């Protein structure tokens, strides 16, 4: 129990350190505490502008998006009792990408930049509504997974169709780059837009931690312990749609984080699905902060996209997981 408390303390300390480091690092090295002092005393400088307009939104979004992906990944793996489950499995990511791409395609984004995240959010929430219609009563995870697979396939096919039909090659290129995921050029407006949806999503996801633990014993036994499968799946899917939908809408697709982070945390939390939630959120936030620092400091002609880095780092973890599963099965 003491060790489990220690995990929280260590993760929070690492997150705080990473956050401060993220504010300071970049093309313009920035004395973080001194700049905060300037802002506090109402003085404006080059540093304070960079901090408030560029670094702070970027670091806040890294924490919020990383926490959302880590938390939703842990919830999906616990709910579906599948170590390979990830937040996008139920079609939420696909819906958000499609919604955002529609904003690019129709030119709405050019006239009203916040249309992009709003379109993404609308897409993810719409995908949940379709998921509920397809999966029926939601009293079983298999129907949910099948409906999610169908939704993802449809969303990606429609996204490809809009790319195909796009008459403007620059718009198509912009869509492709946006899908790779990035936290660059986001403002505090993006933070304010995403925050309510993410906080509501986190609350819904954390609500069912005891139900996730009970589901370890299978759906029937969990139900006999008072777990309502219908209500639990509704909260989890809606919570995932809100926080992951908001994440994808704001910064595009960021792969592998939701899949990998719960596996890193599980050995330190006794493998209980409910206990792994908060550590996964904290570790997800910290890892995305580190990845975002990496894309800024790795020397390259153009800044690397965040989704590219998380995928490149995530794939070896994924392969290691496959080998571990293979060893356990043999």
Partner 1 sequence: MSLLEARGLSISLGARKVLDNVSFGLPAGEVTGLVGPNGAGKSTLLKILARLLRPSEGEILLEGVPSENISQRVWARETAYLAQERVVHWPLTARAIVALGRTPHAGKDEAIVDEALKMTGTAALAHRPFRELAGGEKALVLLARCLAVDARVLLADEPVSALDPAHELQAMEILRSTARRGRGVLVVLHNLALAARFCDRLFLLDQGKITAGGRPEEVLTPENLRRSYGVEAVYGPKGAGFYVLPWQRI
Residues that bind partner 1 (CB under 8 A): 81, 210-211, 213-218, 220-228, 266, 270-273
For partner 1, which is the closer residue by CB, 139 or 166? 139
- Written as six digits, the tokens of 59 are 């670091």
**Shortest approach of partner 1 to residue 235 CB, angstroms?**
16
Distances 185 to 78, 106, 191, 268, 313 between C-alpha atoms, Å: 35, 22, 12, 36, 23
C-beta separation of 222 from 231 below 8 A:
no
For partner 1, give the closer residue by CB, 47 or 79: 79
Q: How many CB atoms lie within 10 A of CB 151?
A: 25
Residue 106 or residue 224: which is nearer to partner 1 going by CB?
224
Burial class (CB within 10 angstroms; exposed 0-12, middle 13-18, buried 19+) of 136: exposed
Tokens of 26: 């970049």
Burial class of residue 317, CB neighbours in 10 A (0-12, 13-18, 19+) = middle
Of the two residues 31 and 270, which places its CB atom closer to partner 1 in the complex?
270
Nearest CB to partner 1, comparing residues 38 and 219:
219
* CB-nearer residue toward partner 1: 159 or 232: 232
Q: How far is the CB of 324 from partner 1 (least distance, A)?
A: 12
State the nearest-atom distance from the C-beta of 7 to partner 1, in Å: 16
**Could you tell me if 273 and 212 are in contact, meaning their C-beta atoms sit under 8 angstroms apart?**
yes
- Least distance to partner 1, CB of residue 214, Å: 5
Concatenated DSSP letters of 107-142: THHHH-TTHHHHHHHHHHHHHHHHHHHHHTT--SHH
Minimum CB distance to partner 1, residue 318 (Å):
19
Tell me the three-class secondary structure of 26-74, residue by residue: CCCCCCHHHHHHHHHCCCCCHHHHHHHHHHHHHHHHHHHHHHHHHHHHH
Nearest approach in angstroms of CB 133 to partner 1 is 23
- Nearer to partner 1 (CB atom), residue 107 or residue 230: 230
Task: Quote the least distance from Cβ 316 to partner 1, whole Å.
Answer: 23
């Amino acid at each position: 129990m003491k060790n489990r408390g220690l995990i929280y303390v260590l993760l929070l300390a690492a997150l705080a350190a990473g956050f401060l480091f993220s504010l300071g690092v970049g093309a313009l090295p920035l004395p973080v505490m001194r700049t905060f002092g300037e802002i506090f005393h109402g003085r404006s400088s080059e540093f304070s502008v960079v901090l408030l307009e560029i670094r702070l939104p970027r670091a806040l979004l890294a924490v919020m998006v990383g926490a959302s992906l880590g938390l939703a990944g842990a919830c999906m793996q616990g709910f579906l009792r599948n170590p390979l489950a990830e937040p996008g499995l139920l079609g939420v990511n696909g819906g958000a990408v499609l919604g955002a791409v529609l904003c690019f395609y129709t030119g709405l984004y050019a006239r009203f930049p916040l249309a992009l995240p709003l379109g993404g959010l609308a897409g993810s929430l719409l995908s949940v509504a379709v998921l509920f219609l397809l999966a029926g009563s939601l009293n079983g995870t298999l129907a949910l997974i099948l409906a999610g697979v169908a939704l993802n396939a449809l969303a990606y096919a429609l996204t490809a169709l809009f790319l195909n039909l796009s008459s403007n090659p620059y718009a198509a290129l912009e869509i492709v780059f946006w899908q790779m995921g990035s936290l660059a050029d986001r403002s505090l407006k993006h933070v304010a837009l995403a925050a309510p949806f993410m906080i509501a999503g986190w609350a819904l996801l954390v609500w069912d931690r005891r139900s996730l633990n009970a589901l370890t014993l299978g759906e029937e036994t969990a139900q006999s312990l008072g777990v309502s499968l219908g209500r639990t799946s509704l909260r989890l899917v809606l919570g995932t749609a809100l926080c992951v939908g908001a994440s994808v809408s704001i910064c595009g697709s960021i792969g592998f984080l939701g899949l990998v982070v719960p596996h890193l945390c599980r050995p330190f939390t006794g493998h209980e699905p409910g206990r792994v939630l908060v550590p996964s959120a904290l570790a997800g936030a910290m890892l995305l902060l580190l990845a975002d620092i990496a894309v800024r400091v790795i020397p390259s002609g153009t800044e690397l996209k965040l989704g590219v880095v998380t995928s490149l780092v995530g794939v070896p973890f994924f392969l290691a997981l496959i080998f571990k599963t293979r060893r356990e099965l043999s």
